[in-house]
Amino acid sequence: MPAHNSPQVAMVAGETSGDLLAGLLLDGLREKWPDVRSFGIGGPQMQERGFDAWWQSERLAVHGYSLELVQKLLGLLKVRRQLREKLIASPPSIFIGVDAPDFNLGLEGKLREAGIKTVHFVCPSIWAWRADRVDTIRASADHVLCIFPFEPELLARHGISATYVGHPLARVIPMQPDKLAARAQLGLNADDQVLAVLPGSRSAEVKFIARPFFDAVAILLQSRPALQVVVPAVPRQREKIEAMARECGIADRVRIVTGQSHAVLAACDCTLIASGTATLEAALYKRPMVISYHMHPISWRLMKRKQLQPWVGLPNILCGDFVVPELLQDAATPEALAAAVAQWLDAYSRQPDRIHTLEKRFTELHESLLRDTPKLAADAIEKILADTKG
């Protein structure tokens, strides 16, 4: 096995968010070991840092319990088997699974049995749902890199070694976002009332969420004709989102932009947003939001059975309170969504203290997540490698 002073690091990162996290980790590893070699499954952020992608991270992109998952399952199992065999035949210094727990934990367990040190980056949300997964984590990972401050103590109770490394988004998003600059970038006026609509980045999310979101926008525009509505769309979903806007009769009333989600969140007064990582981004931008989600009824029933907390949105989970409203599944009617958004928009003039209180809560949240993630993660990896050598 290679010496730890020139490590060979096998990694698997799933989807865009995992690619971003892995890219930051590679920054820390390259700072510590300029000649580090990394390979496995990754995306463009990782490849920009010299990562050798044997498969692309987008291969791991699936959604819930949908038919898409079933269709991809056999292909994913084949990729995982081939990767496992390749790594066991030529062991790396360490394996790091970045997010994608359904794919990575099983792989980590097999590699660990073969004597390869394993790290899982991003603790699975055992505090929110699927608490039974803690046994799998303990069997699979020698160490877990955590992005939320309460997770290491939780894992320690179950005999799992972990390090809090901060949330990388807290470093990317400024503590005091420049709303005026973001509006200028998007061609919006300083005094516009701006709503950001984020219906998700996956195909299934757009299918189930975009329609009620856009119907809610149509309701809002009836009473607020001057409202500026901006929709950041990932390139692969833009055509579907544009088609949905046409179906809802608001195509000429909304501005759909490719990417630029951070600029849109910085520019907005409020966001109507699908539950997921984007809600944390909105919180770090200190923006009021209405969190919603809608999925196939079967997927929803399965998810509800395993839910451990009263909150679904990350801002509410991290604050331990319903600081922003959540309208989920059957409760996510266009009328209810529009009413919840209208309350935030009106609060700027009628309840400014409500806005200020929320901004204060989100600033405190931001501060708690702000750490030197690349360095802390690389330091933890270095310690594991040193222990292996010893």
CATH numbers and ranges of domains, the chain = 8-166+371-389 (3.40.50.2000), 172-369 (3.40.50.2000)
| pLDDT value at 64 more than 80 | no
| pLDDT value at 65 more than 50 | no
Higher pLDDT, 374 or 297: 374
* Whole-Å CA distances, 148 to 134, 145, 154: 16, 9, 11
The pLDDT assigned to 61 comes to: 66
Please name every residue paired with 198 in a beta bridge, in sequence order, or none if there are none.
273
Global pTM value: 0.81
| pLDDT value at 298 more than 80 | no
| pLDDT value at 69 more than 70 | no
d(CA 275, CA 100): 17
Taking alpha carbons only, the member of 49, 47, 71, 52 closest to residue 61 is: 71
| pLDDT value at 63 more than 60 | no
| pLDDT value at 2 more than 50 | no
The pLDDT assigned to 273 comes to: 96
Question: What are the tens digits of pLDDT across the range 4-59?
Answer: 468 999 999 987 778 888 999 999 999 999 999 999 999 999 999 999 999 998 77
Higher pLDDT, 311 or 125: 125
Q: Which of 231-235, 320-324, 337-341 has the highest mean pLDDT?
A: 337-341
> What is the residue whose two structure tokens read 């039974």?
132
d(CA 119, CA 112): 10
d(CA 113, CA 203): 37
